[in-house]
Amino acid sequence: MEESKEKLQEIARTMGVGQYRRHVFLCLGPDCCAEKVGREAWDVLKRELKDRGLSLGAGPAACYRTKVNCLRICAGGPIMVVYPEGTWYCGMTADRIPRFVQQHLIEGKPVEEWVFTRNPLPHDQSANPNPPASPVA
């Protein structure tokens, strides 16, 4: 068991886990959007993060990405959520991804017209372990 754990730790180090500032989850459908639309958005997200040097686990905008099949918001997709700030986006099609990467991940300004709710994760988990989701006005 210990060898397995060491191998996992090495993989995590190689991938920069522990250095990322944000984690982006993108739903690929099929419930919130057509799978083709979700896959196209994912491909552009991967390319944008790589081309802009954001997927290396270093720097103030370093970002980890994960594709998922369901974020349980089964409408208006592709749905995306960015942590730790907990910004939830709708309609994140391939054509929207470059602006999202530039404005939210690099400049630190969410693209408000695509945000439908927020649920930030507290830095101190003991302060409020279950904060309510906040709707966007």
User: Residues 29-84: pLDDT tens digits?
Assistant: 999 999 999 999 999 999 999 999 898 766 778 899 999 999 999 999 999 999 99
Q: How far apart are CA 42 and CA 66, in angstroms?
A: 9
In 3D space, the residue among 91, 92, 89, 97 whose CA is nearest the CA of residue 116 turns out to be: 89
The Cα 64–Cα 42 span in angstroms is 13
pLDDT for 77-122, tens place per residue? Answer: 999 999 999 999 999 999 999 999 999 999 999 999 999 999 998 8
Rounded to whole angstroms, how far apart are CA atoms 61 and 51?
13
Pick the CATH number of 21-126 from 3.40.50.2000, 3.40.50.150, 2.40.40.20, 3.40.30.10: 3.40.30.10
Query: How confident is the model over 4-32, as pLDDT tens digits?
Result: 999 999 998 888 888 888 999 999 999 99
Indicate the domain borders of the chain. 21-126
Distance (Å, rounded) from C-alpha 133 to C-alpha 121? 10
* DSSP 8-state secondary structure symbol assigned to residue 99: H
